[in-house]
Structure 1
Amino acid sequence: MLLKNMLKYYSPTGNENKLVDFLVKWANDNGFNAYRDNVGNFIAKKGKGKEILLVGHVDTVSGKIPVKTEGNKLYGRGAVDAKGPLACFLEASKKITEGKIIIVGVVDEEGESKGAKNILNKFNPEYIIVGEPSGWSNMTIGYKGRLNIFYANEESKKHSSSPDSNFCEETIEFYNKIKKYCEKFNHGKKLFEKIDVKILSINTNNDDFTDKSTMKISMRTPLDFEIKDLKNFVKDNKKDAAVTFSSYEEAVKVNKNNKLISIFIGAIRTGGGEPKFKLKMGTSDMNILQKYRVPILTYGPGDSNLDHTPDEHINLDEYEKSIFILKNALEKIVDIS
């Protein structure tokens, strides 16, 4: 079974090479022209005509999970996020005999998305399908944007009796100001319209004369958010700390009235499901790939509530249904292209 073999290759971000080697060989043995690109992405192509681009990712978060099957459940790191959807892409596409299909397993999706950024402007797709767990009868049509804030404060030691805030308290005060900024922005708004803020990590250390603190904050932002206002607020409230920002990924939300979504609605109904649309509070490579400005959606088997958890597993019945639905959708796309 392709997916089970993929799960045997532990591939946390930065360690994807062995899995990519396996996938290149598998794809070349199954009718594709496959290779590794200059940043390590897995690329597999077949057919001629207008391009259908399917993009999953080969990296996972860290944390090994023993690969095992229990009943109709397959366990392993990446079973849901997102080797399951990528395997679904490959299994469905190998059965397609017409049209041009390009499958990409990008690296670094759980990091800074260098794999997805590297394929921008490399292809000329008519449609894009991103592989993430949506559930077999659902489509994901939106993700929030993302900005990470990196805070670093260093100061000379103070006596514990000092009336001034110490370095730990200043770090907490900085975060609380950002949280209040978000609460004010979020007032009266719906969930997908709000800013979400989380501390991803916080650390302190010191020596005989200096106290230091670092903090990484994740900001999930809504559509059409003015990121300059947030950055200016951060700079105005950091005091003497050093603050830097990650690259900013804009939120994405797809209009339901497009051919790709209509095709998937029909395919899901053919498979016995009732299609539903999901808006996710996280971020995926769909945020980056929207820059192609073509019809796009996210689809794949699996329960995203199991992403990154120690209990990550996929229902094999759902996995097989997703392959059937994707094959049906690809055939319809080829027919109208």
Structure 2
Amino acid sequence: MTAETHTGAQREARELLIGAVSVPSLSGQEGEVAAYLCSWMEARGFAVRVDEAGNAVGARGNGPYTVALLGHMDTVPGDIPVQVDADGVLHGRGSVDAKGSLCTFVAAVAALPPEALNHVRFVVIGATEEEAPSSRGARHIVGALQPDAVLIGEPSGWQGLTLGYKGRLVAQVHAEKDNFHTAGEGSSAADDLTEAWFRVRGWAADSAGDGGIFDAVQATLQSIGSAGDGLTQRAEATFGLRLPPRLSPQDAERQVLELLVDLPSVSVRFVGHETAVRHPRDNALTRAMRVAIRAHGGTPVFKVKTGTSDMNVVAAHWPVPTLAYGPGDSGLDHTPDERLNLAEYDRAVAVLTDALTRLAASVSQRD
């Protein structure tokens, strides 16, 4: 590839990202950005479609070995004016979480040499509703595709390889009891709800052990409120639980209910079940990524994350080599300062193009 060609491809990749970030795409409202991505891919030789879940799907290459590159198009709310500042940093909602990663996938697959496409089919999926509890796009695509390797589009930094995410469980807690005068004896609905929170928080704190935060339960009080009609007191709260791999959402449910069994005024509804996942460090995919990162002057860093992603959704359906990759600092996810350095994006595209080329070569040698 000549320097001039490289400059042109890099410019196109940047324009792809800036264009995608410029299109608002809240969860459930991804149609316009899906059309934009499909148009860009189709112009560069991808076979494209928008599937029944609204996913933007683009494929290149032939052969029985399939690599799925699953990113998401939707963003959380928050209007951040889209601009590239004097330092070459792109500001805008979705620049990090996770259009930067998704566009890295699209640009890298577009840049693959012809020989990489002879034995491998690369399928890029821009998924819908990852930021919503539904994870609609990922839940649909697991039934439509059976890949041999999977990349999940989430920010890891260009040298980072994310192997796992914690699980999740959301407890919607309700306390209700007859009204009484506050000068009398007894606890209020709010008292009982607070006691429930203290018990759950204590249980989470006791789970830490020696394994670090990834192996502990994290509990967050996401909302709390109270109301009444003069006859009945009501208090409600939402407890968010991040779960380690050793604790399934179902086991967490049972343990939480046991904690609250002697609080008759308290009832719990559980939602948001996601099982934690952690993939192996050594396989053909991770080896190709490690070699490519080193070839571009970096030091590969394996990571696990305390949040969740579409990796949690697809892991049980796609038991194949899997990691998450993408440029940017995940600490900027959902914040008013969300931004992505375009030089890092360029490097992530180059690394991924190199890694996918190496992976395809290793597949061809086995055939």
Instruction: Give the Cα–Cα distance (whole angstroms) in 2 for the partners of residues 40 and 16 of structure 1.
Output: 7
Range moving further from structure 2, 68-77 or 36-45: 36-45
Distance between the aligned counterparts of 2:95 and 2:61, measured in 1? 28
Counterparts of 1:49-68 in structure 2 under 5 Å? 49=63, 50-68=65-83
Greater alpha carbon shift after TM alignment, 266-275 vs 8-17: 8-17
* Distance in 2, Cα, partners of 1:183 & 1:12: 34
1:252 is aligned to 2:306: no
- For residues 42 and 159 of structure 1, the distance between their equivalents in structure 2, rounded to whole angstroms, comes to 59
Distance 2:311 2:150 in 1: 9
Quote the Cα distance in structure 2 between the aligned partners of 1:26 and 1:161.
69
Q: 1:165 aligns with which of 179, 184, 187?
A: 187
Question: Hey, what's the Cα distance between the residues in 2 that align with 1:36 and 1:208?
Answer: 53
> Could you say which residue in structure 2 is the equivalent of 1:284?
309
1:68-83 alignment, distance < 5 Å? 68-70=83-85, 71-83=87-99
The Cα of 1:248 is off from its aligned counterpart by 2.2
* Amino acid paired to 1:316: L
TM superposition shift of 1:210 = 3.2
Map of 2:124 onto structure 1:
103
Matches within 5 A, 1:293-332: 293-332=319-358
- What's the counterpart of residue 177 of structure 1? 199
Determine the C-alpha separation between the residues in 1 that align with 2:211 and 2:88.
41
1:75 CA drift (Å): 0.2
Find the partner of 1:274 among 264, 278, 299: 299
Amino acid at match of 1:102: V
Per-residue deviation at 1:170?
A: 1.5
SS where residue 337 of structure 2 aligns? coil
Measured after TM superposition, the shift of residue 157 of structure 1 is 2.5
Given residue 79 of structure 1, which amino acid in structure 2 is its aligned partner? S
Q: 1:307 to 1:247 in 2, by over 3 A?
A: closer
2:56 to 27, 37, 42: 42
User: Against the structure 1 CA distance between its residues 39 and 154, is the aligned structure 2 distance closer, same or farther, given a 3 Å change threshold?
Assistant: farther
Normalised by the size of structure 1, how large is the TM-score? 0.95
Structure 1 range deviating more: 113-122 or 302-311: 113-122
Runs (4+) off by over 6 Å: none
Q: Which residue of 2 aligns with 1:240?
A: 265
Secondary structure of residue in 2 paired with 1:140: strand
Give ranges in structure 2 of 5+ residues lacking alignment: 1-14
- Measured against aligned partners, the alpha-carbon deviations of 1:161-195 in whole angstroms (never above 9, x if no partner) come to 23222122221111111111112222344221111
1:21-40 correspondence to structure 2 within 5 Å: 21-40=35-54
SS at match of 2:71: strand
More displaced stretch, 80-89 vs 93-102: 93-102
The 10-residue stretch of structure 1 (314-323 or 194-203) with the greater mean CA deviation from structure 2 = 194-203
How many Å apart are 1:128 and its aligned residue? 0.3
Classify 1:93/1:212 alpha carbon distance in 2 versus 1 (closer, same or farther; 3 Å).
same
Give the length in aligned residue pairs: 337
Paired amino acid for 1:106: A
Spell out, residue by residue over 1:129-167, the C-alpha distance to the aligned partner (whole angstroms, 9 max, x if none): 001000001111111111111112333332222322212
RMSD: 1.6
Query: Residue deviations 1:87-133, cap 9 Å, x none?
Result: 11111111123131101111111112122111113212111000100
- TM-score, normalising length from structure 2? 0.88
Q: CA deviation at 1:85?
A: 0.4
Letter in 1 for 2:289: F
Task: Extract unaligned runs of 5+ from structure 1.
Answer: none
Percent identity reads: 34
CA distance in structure 1 between the partners assigned to 2:249 and 2:33 by the alignment:
37
1-side partners of 2:26 and 2:296: how far apart? 33
For 2:244 and 2:223, the matched residues in 1 are separated by 23
Pairs within 5 Å for 1:88-167? 88-96=104-112, 97=114, 98=117, 99-112=120-133, 113-167=135-189
3-state secondary structure, aligned to 1:23:
helix
User: Which amino acid in structure 1 is aligned with residue 360 of structure 2?
Assistant: V
Q: State the alpha-carbon separation in 2 of the partners of residues 147 and 181 from structure 1.
A: 14
